[in-house]
Structure 1
Amino acid sequence: MGQVDRIAEPWGTRTAYGPGERWPVRVDVRLVETDWDTAMSAVAGRTKKLFAEIMVTP
């Protein structure tokens, strides 16, 4: 087994999505295709909600 360059390929072969491809985002209980900005907005929104629940200022 050869060495994996974790700088060039941090996830190795464990991801099915390549550079520039759309990654799915969770909507309710399923994953749907979306663009990067929408996915990051969902992550940011959920993070803000969780911080508010525990009363921590990010």
Structure 2
Amino acid sequence: MFIDGNLLDGNYQRFDRIHPATNEVMTTFVEAGARGVDQAVFAARSAFDEGPWPRMRAQS
């Protein structure tokens, strides 16, 4: 997973996306789980609070 500018290593669960016609594995996804979601939410909140987002003007 890529969170807060970092590619995270770790023992995350994974799940396969199976092609419905061939039953072959098309790709594998990382399942964030509670730990990954907590990290992503914390990073997003920090980016909002400490970054330029709240001070930016809306563009029309």
Report which of the two has the higher share of strand.
2
Higher relative contact order by CA 8 Å / sep ≥ 6: 1 or 2?
2
TM-score category, normalised to shorter length? 0.3 to 0.5
Larger Rg: 2
TM-score of the aligned structures, taking structure 2 as reference length: 0.38
